[in-house]
Amino acid sequence: MFEDKVLVCKDCGAEFTFTAGEQEFYAEKGFQNEPTRCKACRQARKNAARGERVMYDAVCAECGAPTKIPFEPKTDRPVYCSNCFAARRGN
């Protein structure tokens, strides 16, 4: 029923594929219009609307490497860099 379509982003002019799965999702949600922006431009637009994210400096409790985190660190809880955090979660 649905077939992949190649669309052109209205912001950057790049071609992007509106997949059959995405079209099915749009139909299920009742969306009437096709997307007009590529994924990168949609994400940039969301980030711009949300505002700049404040990042805080911290030191990883596991390896001691400097890292940045999106919340203000507290002294009573350990903070981990991305690699150590992923290792602790088993990823």
pLDDT tens for each residue of 17-41 = 999 999 999 999 999 999 999 999 9
pLDDT given at position 33? 95
pLDDT (tens digit per residue) in 68-79? 998 998 888 999
Closest CA to 62 of 81, 76, 34: 81
User: Does residue 60 surpass a pLDDT of 90?
Assistant: yes
In this predicted structure, the answer to whether residue 51 has a pLDDT above a threshold of 80 is no
- The predicted structure's pLDDT at residue 1: 81
User: Rounded to an integer, what is the distance from CA 42 to the centroid of its chain?
Assistant: 10
In this structure, what token pair is assigned to residue 3?
């077939």
* Alpha-carbon gap, residue 65 to 74, rounded angstroms: 17
Q: What are phi and psi of 47, to 5 degrees?
A: -65, -40
